[in-house]
Amino acid sequence: MAEDLYPVPESWAADARVTAEGYATDYARSLDDATRFWLERADSLEWVSKPTVADESSFEEATFGVKWFADGVLNVSANCIDRHLATRRDQIAIIWEPDSPAADPRFITFTELHAEVCRFANVLKAQGVRKDDRVTLYLPMIPEAAFAMLACARIGAVHSIVFGGFSPEALAGRITDCDSRIVVTVDEGRRGGKTVPLKANVDAAAKLVTCLDTVIVVRATGGGVEMQPGRDIWYDEAAASVAAECAPEPMNAEDPLFLLYTSGSTGKPKGVLHTTGGYLLWASYTHACVFDCRDGDTYWCAADVGWVTGHSYIVYGPLANGVTTLMYEGVPNWPSPARMWQVVDRHKVTQLYTAPTALRALMKEGDDFVTGTSRASLRLLGSVGEPINPEAWRWYHDVVGEGRCPIVDTWWQTETGGHMITPLPGATALKPGSAASPFFGVEPLLVDAEGKVLEGATEGNLVIARSWPGQMRTVWGDHERFFQTYFSTYPGFYFTGDGARRDADGYWWITGRVDDVINVSGHRMGTAEVESALVLHRTVAEAAVVGFPHEIKGQGIYAYVTLNAGDPPSDALRKELVTWVRGEIGPIATPDAIQFTPGLPKTRSGKIMRRILRKIAEGDVSSLGDTSTLADPSVVDDLVANRVG
């Protein structure tokens, strides 16, 4: 429909980094002449030794592996800091906006960033951290989180950030999985006017692990914490006696950079491993093309560094490009729903990148909180984390951006390292709710359930037909799981776990997960993880968890729970189970609904029919489909009769 197409604004068409013509030519080249294309692009980084090879990956079982720029040598922190010192010494690298609007922001120049990161690196070294060691970072949104990441990169240590919202149990599992002997944390975090006891959580996690011997504590709130002698050290005390110079470690392009745990459809969270050269090129090149920052811009990605979006688009992408990046400690709606727009005005933000769940929550509060601010500095708006519904898209475009800012709806995953399908602001006419076109080098396809490639305007499972520089390299400690999870379903292709539609104009529309992953407020949650947490409770015999549409969160968590004989269902127990799951995983896993049921719908072979559970959770009980293969079809009547919601 013509009225649904938003052309490239004049202001962008004039001098965008990528124009419509440029996109068409370069996209074709990125596939047809891939080696030359990527070796040229790799020149945008500073190498100790330039790569002479590009893609050496294979998705076939016999030759399986992902490898890019394998003879290149570089250091990520030198690319994000040192190389800018000649031209940007006094430019602000990081603006930090505190939780409370009454507190003072911090402005950190590239020169200061260099000193902070070197000092942090020297503290880590003094604690015995060496190349390839895993360092767990359990930190809130403070500049020290970026310093610690870049310090690890500087000395070749592998950081594993655990989101501050995860519980001690979840933190312990991640520390153990990668055998990390050191954790960096703070006394307390701050969010939305409340404090979060991160150090106390580390103490609780430490009781559950055996590998941990050192905890570095950054003083953030000054709130009292217990320090365990011989294990815990204050960062500021350790930093006082180290030098502000630390030479960057030359790293091979395929040396590990970081691990980030993410949920899948089965088992415990996987440690997604990204390496040095390909990842940095992907983060910086996508950042440059998609956000098209210019000197003097202030770019704000309102994610948390605990998620991949924070890794690639708060820290590595913008800093590699020498762009001023804003880090916000707080939440979008505190102290009021105007806060985000006030932050935009306070720091004259030019590009804003946030998630649909935040937009839907703010939209609900009415336009006055937005229109009471100027937002004149904004030139571009971005969306990430989940499909953006057209209503939220239009509100973002018309009210927040006053119709002048293009919206880049960027589809990607922890596994992809950076953007995969996205509009480019100077090249793409926009359709509300569509992620538009593949980025350079990305070859998306749709396949049916049997793996047959589908042509033309159609819908199917989204796969990627060839490797790209930012692709994850392995699942930490389990290379076989990497292959099985992503490459065995549709041989020869990377399977994303998402469904998608391609329309008659070739635009891509992501329809959401087709596996047992729920997307809650843009955060991935495996149904299996919530089920495992529930069955750990003494009263629970069995649990099945599904997603259902939720107005603000995108998807909510619906749990069907069968109790042990002798444990009667009650509202008190329901509350207890909700608290239990939060304790096991963290607040993002909070079930929205718990339905007690005497039994679950199972086939004769004992497989739970999730299709039926999803329908009931959605409230769509009129079309439950064929239930005749169930071992006990009467279970369904009980489920329908006692639906919660």
Kindly state the smallest distance separating residue 303's Cβ from ligand 6R9, in Å. Answer: 8
Stretch that binds ligand 6R9, among 33-41, 66-74, 330-338, 491-499 (CB under 6 A): 491-499
Kindly state the smallest distance separating residue 518's Cβ from ligand 6R9, in Å. Answer: 10
Q: Which residue is nearest to ligand 6R9 (CB)?
A: 414
Q: Is 387 in the site for ligand 6R9 (CB under 6 A)?
A: yes
Kindly state the smallest distance separating residue 423's Cβ from ligand 6R9, in Å. Answer: 10
- Cβ pair 364, 404 in contact under 8 A: no
Q: How far is residue 76's CA from residue 156's CA, in Å, rounded to a whole number?
A: 9
Q: Is 519 in the site for ligand 6R9 (CB under 6 A)?
A: yes
Q: Is 524 in the site for ligand 6R9 (CB under 6 A)?
A: yes
Of residues 387 and 460, the one with the C-beta less far from ligand 6R9? 387
Q: How far is residue 506's CA from residue 488's CA, in Å, rounded to a whole number?
A: 27
**Distance from chain centroid for Cα 176:** 22
Kindly state the smallest distance separating residue 512's Cβ from ligand 6R9, in Å. Answer: 6
Beta-ladder partners of 630: 603
Kindly state the smallest distance separating residue 371's Cβ from ligand 6R9, in Å. Answer: 26
Number of residues that bind ligand 6R9 (CB under 6 A): 25
Q: Is 385 in the site for ligand 6R9 (CB under 6 A)?
A: yes
Window 395-414: residues binding ligand 6R9 (CB under 6 A): 409-414
Q: Which of 152, 435, 534, 635 forms a contact with ligand 6R9 (CB under 6 A)?
A: 435
Q: Which of 94, 158, 308, 525 forms a contact with ligand 6R9 (CB under 6 A)?
A: 308
**Distance from chain centroid for Cα 513:** 15
Kindly state the smallest distance separating residue 68's Cβ from ligand 6R9, in Å. Answer: 20
Strands 453-454 and 444-447: antiparallel
* CA dist 23 → 57, 58, 440, 441, 462 (Å): 25, 26, 8, 11, 22
Residue 582 annotated as lining a ligand binding site: yes
Of residues 278 and 385, the one with the C-beta less far from ligand 6R9? 385
- Cβ pair 360, 385 in contact under 8 A: no
Stretch that binds ligand 6R9, among 125-133, 384-392, 573-581, 602-610 (CB under 6 A): 384-392
Q: How far is residue 280's CA from residue 277's CA, in Å, rounded to a whole number?
A: 5
Window 165-224: residues binding ligand 6R9 (CB under 6 A): none
* CA dist 338 → 185, 333, 348, 362, 391 (Å): 30, 7, 15, 8, 20
Stretch that binds ligand 6R9, among 42-50, 56-64, 385-393, 592-600 (CB under 6 A): 385-393
Q: How far is residue 179's CA from residue 512's CA, in Å, rounded to a whole number?
A: 33
Kindly state the smallest distance separating residue 615's Cβ from ligand 6R9, in Å. Answer: 21
Q: How far is residue 185's CA from residue 201's CA, in Å, rounded to a whole number?
A: 10
- Collapse the DSSP code of 413 into the 3-class scheme (helix H, G, I; strand E, B; otherwise coil) and give the result: coil
Report the 10 Å Cβ neighbour count for 342: 18
Q: Is 515 in the site for ligand 6R9 (CB under 6 A)?
A: no
- Collapse the DSSP code of 354 into the 3-class scheme (helix H, G, I; strand E, B; otherwise coil) and give the result: strand
Stretch that binds ligand 6R9, among 293-301, 302-310, 474-482, 559-567 (CB under 6 A): 302-310
Residue 521 annotated as lining a ligand binding site: yes
Kindly state the smallest distance separating residue 182's Cβ from ligand 6R9, in Å. Answer: 25
Q: Which pair of structure tokens corresponds to residue 200?
A: 């106390």
Kindly state the smallest distance separating residue 421's Cβ from ligand 6R9, in Å. Answer: 8
Among all chains, which residue has been given the structure tokens 């993880």? 529
- Cβ pair 591, 543 in contact under 8 A: no
Axis-axis angle for helices 143-155, 110-126 (nearest 10): 60
- Cβ pair 202, 189 in contact under 8 A: no
Of residues 199 and 360, the one with the C-beta less far from ligand 6R9? 360
Of residues 284 and 410, the one with the C-beta less far from ligand 6R9? 410
Stretch that binds ligand 6R9, among 194-202, 285-293, 306-314, 393-401 (CB under 6 A): 306-314
Stretch that binds ligand 6R9, among 8-16, 22-30, 323-331, 519-527 (CB under 6 A): 519-527
- Cβ pair 446, 461 in contact under 8 A: yes
DSSP conformation letters of 562-609: EEPTT----HHHHHHHHHHHHHHT-GGG--SEEEE-S---BBTT--B-
Q: Which residues contact 25 (CB under 8 A, 6 or more apart)?
A: none
Kindly state the smallest distance separating residue 485's Cβ from ligand 6R9, in Å. Answer: 13
Of residues 27 and 412, the one with the C-beta less far from ligand 6R9? 412
Q: Is the peptide bond before 335 cis (omega within 30 degrees of 0)?
A: yes
DSSP E strands in 181-338: the ranges are: 182-186, 189-191, 194-196, 214-218, 232-234, 251-252, 256-262, 270-275, 298-301, 324-328
Window 235-264: residues binding ligand 6R9 (CB under 6 A): 262
Show the binding pattern over residues 281-300: x = contacts ligand 6R9 (CB under 6 A), - = does not: --------------------
Q: Which pair of structure tokens corresponds to residue 412?
A: 């990607």
Q: Is 497 in the site for ligand 6R9 (CB under 6 A)?
A: yes
Kindly state the smallest distance separating residue 263's Cβ from ligand 6R9, in Å. Answer: 8
Q: Is 309 in the site for ligand 6R9 (CB under 6 A)?
A: yes
631 exposure class (CB count in 10 Å sphere: 0-12, 13-18, 19+):
middle
Q: Which of 116, 232, 498, 584 forms a contact with ligand 6R9 (CB under 6 A)?
A: 498
Of residues 77 and 527, the one with the C-beta less far from ligand 6R9? 527
Of residues 512 and 569, the one with the C-beta less far from ligand 6R9? 512
The values of phi and psi at residue 364, to 5°, are -60, -25
Q: Which of 317, 292, 285 has the alpha carbon at shortest distance from 16?
A: 292
List the binding residues.
Answer: 191-194, 309, 333, 385-387, 409-414, 498, 513, 521, 524, 535, 537, 540, 582
| Residues near ligand 6R9, by CB under 6 A | 262, 307-309, 383-387, 409-414, 435, 496-498, 510, 512-513, 519, 522, 524
> Residues annotated as binding site for ATP?
385-387, 409-414, 498, 513, 524
Q: Which residue ranges make up the annotated binding site for Mg(2+)?
A: 535, 537, 540
Residues making up the binding site for CoA: 191-194, 309, 333, 521, 582
